[in-house]
Structure 1
């Protein structure tokens, strides 16, 4: 079976602030030589590895890996894994993984084995576009030989299973402009399915929140506020519980302010005793080419300290090299911005 071409996402978000953009001019052979030198002989030059890999786009990093194998007959990811360890190794491997495959692995690991990490399912399935979900589904089947939908359905239950199934279809409308009349109709339907009846008709919430475009949902939530005098989020808290409540509220938050949603997820991964390093790495790597600049701005506004300083204070991503602590695309005092 021929090896398939790597799958990529289309990032078309002109108003967002990435922290990693494609470098130009780009010389993948020169970058490959830098990485080879950094890992050859005794010891490892972590600083040079960081300077290259955190300042190239995901697609450019994959080009570097191709040139590395062409020049030296060795697999770049294998060499990185043999030369590094711990969370620093995990971060580098994530950076070198095509994003659809990275998401597919995160979803697979969230539902494989005993127990399910519903928070990962919510974070991924409730935040991505139709295109991104379809590309992840292709990657998932190529990697694991099963359908993502089947595995999600097999590991979840009840109304949460139905919500995940609907989101897995990747079939939201994609209009950019809201229809206010339809928004009023949907707001009334949500009100009648929840607050105005004994019990809750979860199917109406599922249908509306999984199939309407984000701009349309924003208009629906506004109309709901006009009709009831309170926020849709308050209604969901009153009508639902458990993972379904968390997922529906995540959709509401993403519709209103996606960077805020991820800022809160990052904060949660680092606060208290212990760090959810996997969550931290996943968000930093997947959002750095999309809106990590926006996330960082909101993080500082909400929590009073910069995202970079929080990560530096953890010291969890790299126990050997202080220069890695700020994460992809975030400057730190230990690692000033410079070319490689």
Structure 2
């Protein structure tokens, strides 16, 4: 991929899924109904991965008008397993998908801290407010309270601060001094890291972290690794990566080829920055995401993931 694109050219073209030209929701809804009757998963994949989310919502509405059935419910009757999960994610609104992924990360024994962090660190305050509102609608629970119940100590404070990202200005020099001072005692202080890293914009934080590295002669990663521990250390590491290189962090997550991660990240980022994540994946692994999927998935699930990925790099 050409890294020399101007940012203007990049703008609006970072997603892999674009609006389908010549779009007819009624026709799509009728085609989906016929595919459901034939149990033709390939046809369902072809339609749902070639429409953007707004178009899929229109198709779902048209399907409901024509059949008096909910599209998600109809898909559940015909599909199963990971393909069912993937197509249901495509039919959800983006904020419903993030709410569902957060809920799944907190379900059962133990918490999937990294998925919580991935969503909280890589999403804006506005998006997270929408996700929290949808979470309450879907699960009749308060997202902040649920997060607090699943976490503790400094990590809980970090997670809540990420959910409610404040927007406050600060001077680079003052922030650098506060972070350096927080590391100077016998026990490093978490407070300044939480306050500064969750309340400034990423350009400001880039400068702060670069200055901190110059001042201490160590990378931020090394500082965090040495001075903090446990979940809080993991939280800071993910947050720093999402400030400096979010696409590299997400590409590293995809390298695991864990189904729930691959599907969650690819659907969630398909209209925003999946091209960037693809380019980072290629740099990290030496293989394209498109051909790596081929080694780990098969059948209609592979067709769907490759359609979302769009092309070879």
TM-score using structure 2 length: 0.91
User: What do the CA deviations read for 1:166-210 (whole angstroms, capped 9, x no partner)?
Assistant: 11213234x8xxx7xx1121111101101x221111111111111
In structure 2, the residue matched to 1:303 is 285
> Structure 1 residues 254, 321: CA separation in 2 closer, same or farther (over 3 Å shift)?
closer
Whole-angstrom CA distance in 2 between matches of 1:211 and 1:311: 37
Work out which of the residue numbers 12, 15, 24 in structure 2 matches 1:18. Answer: 15
> Structure 1 residues 132, 321: CA separation in 2 closer, same or farther (over 3 Å shift)?
closer
Is it true that 1:240 corresponds to 2:237 in the alignment?
A: no
- Structure 1 runs, 4 residues or longer, greater than 4 Å off: 318-322
The size of the alignment, in residue pairs, is 303
TM-score using structure 1 length: 0.84
Q: Structure 2: 5+ residue runs without aligned partners?
A: 1-9
- Contact 1:163–1:206 at 8 Å: present in 2 too? yes
Single out whichever of 76-85 and 154-163 deviates more from structure 2: 76-85
In structure 1, the residue matched to 2:261 is 279
User: What do the CA deviations read for 1:50-86 (whole angstroms, capped 9, x no partner)?
Assistant: 2211121112111100001111222221222222221
Whole-angstrom CA distance in 2 between matches of 1:104 and 1:208: 26
Single out whichever of 222-231 and 297-306 deviates more from structure 2: 222-231
Which structure has greater helix proportion?
2
User: What do the CA deviations read for 1:233-267 (whole angstroms, capped 9, x no partner)?
Assistant: 21111111222111111111111111111000100
Q: What aligned pairs does 1:113-128 form with structure 2 within 5 A after superposition? A: 113-128=108-123
The DSSP-based 3-state class of the residue aligned with 2:11 is coil
Q: Structure 1: 5+ residue runs without aligned partners?
A: 1-12, 271-275, 333-340
Whole-angstrom CA distance in 2 between matches of 1:21 and 1:112: 33
Q: What aligned pairs does 1:215-234 form with structure 2 within 5 A after superposition? A: 215-234=203-222
CA root-mean-square deviation:
1.9
Whole-angstrom CA distance in 2 between matches of 1:190 and 1:110: 30
In structure 2, the residue matched to 1:139 is 134
Single out whichever of 292-301 and 14-23 deviates more from structure 2: 14-23
Whole-angstrom CA distance in 1 between matches of 2:14 and 2:51: 16
CA drift of 1:327 comes to: 5.0
Q: What aligned pairs does 1:58-97 form with structure 2 within 5 A after superposition? A: 58-97=53-92
- Contact 2:50–2:307 at 8 Å: present in 1 too? no
